[in-house]
Amino acid sequence: MSRIDELLADVEAHLKDGVLQVKEASEKGRPIVGTYCTFAPWELITAAGAIPATLCARGEDPITAAEEHLPRNLCPLIKSSYGYALTDKCPYFHFCDMVIAESTCDGKKKMYELMSRMKPLHLMMLPQTAEGDVARSAWRSELDRLKARLEDAFSVTIDDEAISKRIALRNRERMALNSLWELSRLDPPAITGREQFLISEYCEFHFHKEELVPWLGNLVYQIREAYDQGERRVGKDAPRILITGCPLGGAQKVIHAIEDAGAVVVCYENCGGVKELGFLVDEDRPPMEALTDKYLNVGCSVMTPNTSRMDNLKNLIESYNVDGVVEVVLQACHTYAVETYEVRELVRSTGRPYMSVETDYSKSDIGQLATRIGAFLEML
């Protein structure tokens, strides 16, 4: 077993440690706040003394139960989210004291009405544009409203000093993650896209961030050292692919299809990845003002116009020396589906080929995906 294999085997062995961490924290009386989206401000939640835990929304199994309450022609992410909560098969939902929801789409917004019957739920009303003083003022009001709800729910006072400390810690984690993603800028990349996804997943569900940040820095150092000493995990001629679009948790089959066909995923411009974590909060500004601007500019497809996503996507294509772009759209995700036209235009303007994949969480299209992606890669 190579040095990097040993490092990654250790990561995989501890991938589910987050469940135990949340259980132990809950038993000690620490509040657990469930979240679904990158618009939920991590820094405010932790400044209240709570642990933000990403709730389950990535599996096919609970969808049948969800369809007893929800329409079948709904996005699989929404049905999975609700199904896990309904069947109590998500440990993070089980232990959480509150859910922070967000009005990123009509389907989720209405689903949250049903979910609020199971747990206390706070819905953040997201402006539909990131541009202008009206949108910024509205989003600042939502952050203030969330702050007040957290203070009331957990009997705490959240001051600027507490928020600033959390901003600094989260920024350190973002910088450590950026150093991980930098490994894929190398030619060839130091790790595969699957391996990058694995490490990112581990980091998302590790709730002791003070321990995580130096651990991740050391992991990246050891991988880079092994790479510099000649260890190669990706062929020199492997096409370099950027994946964009909807969250990939339940659609990892797309990553597998790409890499099984001989390419390598070097960058993820999806929810939960570089779209939010790639950008720092300005530590030199008043903390609530800085958080307002940071989270309002997440390049989600619900925003109109979505200039943040398009600008970031163009930069990532160039900086990762991408050979092609694959966009993943979950069935019935209308905003991302409509935005594929603009993304396709942008990608082709850079001289790179583009393909869009519409899928769900089932395994029924794995063969079709392999065929389509294989044909796409042959064009590169």
Cα 93–chain centre separation: 18
> What is the mean pLDDT of the segment spanning 231-254?
94
pLDDT value at residue 337: 97
The span from the CA of 376 to the CA of 324, in Å, is: 9
- Cα angle 271, 276, 282 (rounded to 5 degrees) comes to 170
If one counts the domains in the chain, the total is 1
**Among candidate residues 363, 303, 369, 380, the one with its CA nearest the CA of residue 336:** 303
pLDDT value at residue 355: 98
Helix axes 160-182, 193-204, angle to 10 degrees: 160
- Given pLDDT bands bounded at 50, 70 and 90, which one contains residue 339? very high
**Among candidate residues 76, 150, 143, the one with its CA nearest the CA of residue 333:** 76
Residue 201 has pLDDT above 90, yes or no: yes
Answer whether 70's CB lies under 8 Å from 82's CB.
yes
pLDDT value at residue 171: 98
Say if 372 falls within a structural domain.
no
Residue 96, domain extent: 25-158
Say if 298 falls within a structural domain.
no
DSSP letter string over 162-200?
A: HHHHHHHHHHHHHHHHHHHHHGGGSSS-SS-HHHHHHHH
The span from the CA of 369 to the CA of 53, in Å, is: 32
Q: Give per-residue pLDDT as tens, 93-138.
A: 999 999 999 999 999 999 999 999 999 999 999 999 999 999 999 9
Say if 116 falls within a structural domain.
yes
pLDDT value at residue 178: 97
Tell me the torsion sign for CA atoms 277, 279, 284, 290: negative
Q: The domain spanning residue 66 has which CATH number?
A: 3.40.50.11890
Say if 275 falls within a structural domain.
no
List beta partners, residue 99.
34, 121
**Tokens in use for 144?**
């203030």
Q: Give per-residue pLDDT as tens, 216-235.
A: 999 999 999 999 999 999 99
The span from the CA of 19 to the CA of 92, in Å, is: 7
Cβ contacts of 47 within 8 Å, gap of 6 or more: 158, 162, 163, 165, 166
Say if 353 falls within a structural domain.
no
Q: What is the mean pLDDT of the chain?
A: 97
Say if 34 falls within a structural domain.
yes
- Given pLDDT bands bounded at 50, 70 and 90, which one contains residue 251? confident
The span from the CA of 118 to the CA of 351, in Å, is: 49
Q: Could you list the beta-strand ranges (E) of 189-307.
A: 240-245, 264-270
DSSP letter string over 68-84?
A: TTS-TTS-HHHHHHHHH
- Given pLDDT bands bounded at 50, 70 and 90, which one contains residue 369? very high
Answer whether 294's CB lies under 8 Å from 277's CB.
no
Answer whether 202's CB lies under 8 Å from 14's CB.
yes
**Among candidate residues 125, 224, 231, 124, the one with its CA nearest the CA of residue 183:** 224
pLDDT value at residue 273: 81
- Given pLDDT bands bounded at 50, 70 and 90, which one contains residue 272? confident
Say if 336 falls within a structural domain.
no
**Among candidate residues 91, 4, 1, 89, the one with its CA nearest the CA of residue 51:** 91
Say if 95 falls within a structural domain.
yes
- Given pLDDT bands bounded at 50, 70 and 90, which one contains residue 300? very high
**Tokens in use for 122?**
């706070």
